[in-house]
Structure formats: structure tokens, C-alpha cells
Chain A
Amino acid sequence: MTIKEIVDKYGSERENLLQILHDIQNQNPRNYINKESINALSKEMNIPVSQIKGTASFYSMFSFIPRGKYVIKVCESPPCHLLGAESIFKAIEYKLGITIGETTKDGLFTLERTSCLGICGVAPAMMINEDVYGNLNEEKIGKILDQIQEQEKERKQLCREEALTKF
């Protein structure tokens, strides 16, 4: 979808800005809002670039730097902290070789902190894109990340095969 199509879908009033920014970010393969789309949006909605950037930077769900395909958000609020959120961070950092805010070299994972995800009943918890995982421990994290990596490998293999058959 182009920026214009997204704006037309919701309407060009200022009150729809957040929803439009969500859509722009979600359709970007690297999960972020790039400069070009902000410029285009500014023309389309008739809002200064500075205002759009100022609004978007206020909210923690929007990013201006490219992120991985899977954004891992680990909850760091007190209920999760009590039940060992720090060790979860360490386990992920060790497994993927990145620190908070970084993206893996293959562009697959980004590790982020987040405040409460609203699933404190199963603390410590994390969210990968839109899927929520609770009752975490090091073993479980290893399994989840392995599973995603495996999926990606399979997907790549399939793509390759498809390309070969077409060729």
C-alpha cells in the first residue's frame, strides 16, 4: 500500500495519525518508519514533518531505525522484575549475541525493553511481534528462538526451491 492509500483508508484528519503511523510501520519489512514515508505523509496529511516526528517519537511502539523481522520485547516492570526478568534478558543476549536495542546480523531479531504487557499472571513475560509468551525460563527461551530460526530456514529453503523451479 502506498502512503496515499493508507491515508485514504482512514481519512486525512489529524486524529487518525497514530493509526496511519501504525500501518506504515507494520507494512515496512524492517518494522520501522523511514524518512521518505514521513515526508510523503506530511504532504498527504498537511502536517509539518517536525510535528509528525515529534508525535511519533513520543510513543515507544514506533521506531525510526530499521529493526529485525522479529522484535522481541521483554517486560521489565516490577512484577516481572521480581520473578527474574533480568535473567531472561541475559539468556536472550547470550543466545543471540546482541544487547538491548540491537539487531542480529541476519536481520532476524531485535531485542527491546518494554513496560508492562498486561500478562503479569504468567511473569516473566515477553512479546515477539504480536505473540505473547509467559512463564519464561532459559530453557523455554532457547526453544522459542530455535523454533523461529528453524521456521525462517525452512521458508528460505522453500523460496530458493521455488525460484529454481521457475528458472
Chain B
Amino acid sequence: MSRRSIDQILEGKPYKKLLLPEKLQQSEIDLVDTDPRKTQYYLRIVLDNCGRINPEEIEEYIGTGGYQALGIALKEKKPEDIIKIVKDSGLKGRGGAGFPTGLKWSFAAQEKESPKYVICNADEGEPGTFKDRLIMEGDPHKILEGMAICAYAIGANIGYIYIRGEYQLSIRRLKKAIKDAEQLGLLGKNIFETDFNFEVKIKIGAGSYVCGEETALLNSMEGFRGEPRLKPPFPAKSGFLSKPTNLNNVETLANIPPIILNGAEWFRKFGTEDSPGTKVYTILGHINRPGLIEVPMGITLREIIYDYAGGMSSGEFKMAQIGGTAGDILSAELLDVPLDYLSLQIAGHNLGSGAILIMNETVSVIDFLECCMKFFVHESCGRCSICRIGTKQMYESFKYLRGKKACCNELKNIKELAEALKLVSFCPLGQSVASPVLSVLKYFRTELSKGIDSNENYETITREMSDIVFDFS
């Protein structure tokens, strides 16, 4: 910002470039009302330091109270106390599955074998999700602190951060953060003059979506193909190099230092009874202000669109996909369902990783689903046949629907296949293919049926596959 513009702001004059468009100013006024729940909007837990401090200076992080939680944990609390605080806080894994974090830690803590590992899952491949990237870029030390506290609680001495290869800036910043923390003795040997040692290393991924699944991530870290492993044994028992391992998402770990500092009771003040705390969402699509928000759990889709995203940028709301490409598609009738793990489960949906893609009426459901399926065809690892062949078949079905060449029982076939994928697939990738498909079948059946060839002049054997099968039989 230029000197002139700063002077202008200091004098109390509005600076034209920074003003919101007119229609946005209106919604801004709505936001500052007296709804007591909405006053919480101004408090952030995970993104507290993002944009406020220089992420490359460790002194600035310490200046805002950073590494205090680690000091308190190491000096005043026992590992069991920390696991109890995390359990009491009700924090759930923010990677998408929503497994209680405290419970996960207690599994790893029970194991006697050593060494144990703490792994931060920063392989954020879900299209539409970029919250982890912004946390890593904006506040890398918070993740390191969270990892150190976790390591102390479960009795680990080595930590890894697995970052996708595309996130070059995050890799650079985290590497610098680790170096700075080691210099000040906040990582390394005898941290805070206790006998606790902890070092963090970085592993870089190479472009694979399925590696976000925890066991596939472990295989990839060991230098193999990133294919998922059979569970059980769970990573807590036999993870990285067959040793007990605790895996957490970036956002989950970033929640830990504030919880240790302020206590479980404080954390429970935010969000709902079942899902306490805040959630970082990335909001995208046909809206006025795409970007990142941190809101209490249990906020509705309507509030997100009209209070935070500044309303639709063009057209009317048609549907929203929550949780990235592997997430459910919600229609306008679900605008007022609170977004938390329990309420969505009751409505038959899943919260997922926190991406909200909002679409207006110009988007064709069939075209959009075809694009989603193309993504899955590309990313299916090929280990189990239902996922490898099923995703391809699903993609072809939507291609036929788009060309209005589908046969009369195409929708029935799609539903059958989606249910089979959900039941039979080896890992969550194949299972999650079903979520967008089944939710679209639920809400947009009439629109899908427009893709069916009403003249019934489709060729019965149009599938390329059937010819090949004949050749070999």
C-alpha cells in the first residue's frame, strides 16, 4: 500500500481501491448485528496468527504466545494429562473422517514398542481444499508446536511432515521454521531443559491423491507405491516402518497449542455440543468473495454464502459440494442444515475436508459429475478392481448421459454401481466416489433423466469393453 493511501486511511477517509463493491457493503452491514452467536465470528483459533505475524520470523510467533503451550506441557503436565485434556476438548480429526483426536493419541500412547512416530499429514490433494496450505504458509510454527506436544503425549521422538510436492512455498517455510526452532532449542535435544527430545523431518510427495489416505501415505513415505494397506493393524499399532505411528491432519495439530494453553472448557465454548471448536472452510465457485474462513462448527450453508462469501456473484443458488470432489452435493433444500459432523450424519451426508464449492443454475449436474468422475479415474490407484473399473464405468455413464445417449436403465445402473463401490472398495477413495453420485441421484433425478435417450435408438452394445471381451472368449 502506498504512503498516500495509508495517510488517507489514517485521516479517516475511505480509500477507493479497498472498498467493497456496493452490493457487498450491504451484506457487511448485516454481519455486524447483535446476534450473540455471531459475535464469536471475530475469534479465530487455527488461523489466529495468519496474516498477523511474519511466518518466517520465529520471534514474532513467540511474541504472540507461541511455544508457551509446549513449555506448560513439558514442565507442568504428564503425558496422560495432555491426552485427557485433548479427549475432554472433544476435538475431532479435521482431515475429513472426524475421528476423535484424543482417542487416537491414547491408542498410540498405549503401545510399548519404540521408536514411535508422529506424522503430520499435509498431503492435501482434495480438489477445492487449500486450508492446510494456508495454515502452513501463515503459521508454520503452530504445527511444529502441535506435533511436539503430540510427541510428548504419546512418547515419540521423531516427527515427519508429509507435504505434497506442489506446495513449494509451504516446504520452504516449514524447513526454515524447523531450522529456527532447532537453533533456539525448541526442537532437538533436551527441550525446555527436560529430558524430552524431538526432531522433525520433511518428506515430499510426488503428486498422488490417494496418498492422503493414512496407510497409503505410510507406504509412500517408505518409498513404495502409494497404495493403501489393509487395516487392521492400524497405524497406531504398526505404522511407519512397522512401528507405532500417530497421524494427524495439519488443522488438527494446529488446534492443539490453543487447547493446551486455554483448557478443554474454553474450547468447548465454540461450536456445537457434539463437534466443539471451529472449522476452516475454503469457499469457492460462483460467489463474490472466494477464500478461506474459520467459523464455529454448526454454522449453516446459508450463513456461509450470504454472510461470509458476500452472496452469489451471478445467478441463483443451485447446489453446493461440501468436502471437495469426494464430497456430497447439497441442493437448495439443505441450505439451513447446520454444518457439523452429527447434523450432517442425520441428514445422510458427510462433512469432509472443508471445501465448499458453490454453484449457480448455469452449471449442469451431468457435466459437473463427469468432471468429478474424470478426476477419480485418474487418481484411482488400481489396487482393487471395483475402484479401477468402477470409476471408469461411472465416467463413461456420465459421458453417455451428457451426450443424451444413455440407455433407459442407466440411472439404475449408476445407483447399483455406486452402492457396490461404497461396499466393496478397499480404501476411502473408492468408497467416496459414491457420495457425489448418490446425493445427485437423490436431489437431481429429473435433471439426470434428461440425459436418457428418449427415442431409444441407442445401440445395445456400445461399450468399447464388450468388444474386447468377445475377442478373448
Contacts and interface: CB of A to CB of B under 8 A. Distances in A.
Judge: A and B partners, yes or no.
Answer: yes
Interface string B266-298: 000000000000000010111000111000000
A60 B204 CA distance: 13
Interface in A108-141: 114-123, 127, 130
A159 interface: no
Interface in B334-374: 355, 357, 359, 363, 368, 371-372, 374
A17 B372 CA distance: 31
A62 B206 contact: yes
Contacts of B357: 78-79, 82
B241 A82 contact: no
A78 B371 contact: yes
Given A17-B223, A123-B284, A77 B206 contact: no
A120 B203 contact: no
A44 B291 CA distance: 46
B398 to A, nearest CB: 13
A61 B225 contact: no
Interface string B236-254: 0000010000000000000
B130 A22 contact: no
B212 to A, nearest CB: 11
A77 B381 contact: no
Contacts of A18: 203-206, 220, 223
A72 interface: no
Interface string A56-68: 0011111000000
A76 B379 CA distance: 13
B208 A59 contact: yes
B205 to A, nearest CB: 7
B290 A121 contact: yes
Contacts of B227: 58
B149 to A, nearest CB: 25
A127 B128 contact: no
Interface string A62-100: 100000000000001111011000000000000000000
A128 to B, nearest CB: 12
A21 B375 contact: no
B130 A118 contact: yes
Contacts of A61: 165, 206-207
Contacts of A82: 285-286, 357, 359, 363, 368
Given A18-B223, A61-B206, A78 B375 contact: yes
A61 B375 CA distance: 16
B206 A59 contact: yes
Interface string B206-246: 11110000000000111111110000000000000100000
A59 B226 contact: yes
| Interface range for B | 35 or more
A58 B223 contact: no
B284 A120 contact: yes
Interface string B119-142: 000001111111001000000000
B168 interface: yes
Contacts of B208: 58-60
Interface residues of A, number: 34
A157 interface: no
B204 A78 contact: no
B207 A118 contact: no
B435 interface: no
Nearest to A85: B371
Nearest to B164: A118
A54 B243 CA distance: 25
B165 A22 contact: yes
Nearest to B379: A115
Nearest to B133: A118
A78 B372 contact: yes
Nearest to B285: A82
A46 interface: no
Contact of B225 (A13, A14, A58): A58
Given A14-B222, A58-B225, A115-B379, A78 B165 contact: no
B223 A81 contact: no
A15 interface: yes
A78 B204 CA distance: 25
B113 interface: no
B80 interface: no
Given A19-B203, A78-B357, A115-B375, A55 B224 contact: yes
Contacts of B221: 15
Contacts of B290: 120-123
B179 interface: no
A114 B379 CA distance: 11
B255 interface: no
A62 B357 CA distance: 30
Contacts of B129: 116, 118, 120
A116 B124 CA distance: 9
B167 A118 contact: yes
B294 to A, nearest CB: 15
Contacts of A19: 203-204
A72 to B, nearest CB: 14
A117 to B, nearest CB: 6
Interface in B432-453: none
Contacts of B375: 76-78, 115
A78 B226 contact: no
Contacts of A59: 205-208, 226
B397 interface: no
B166 interface: yes
- A-B pairs with the 10 shortest C-beta distances? A77-B127, A17-B223, A59-B206, A61-B207, A116-B127, A60-B207, A118-B130, A14-B223, A58-B225, A61-B206
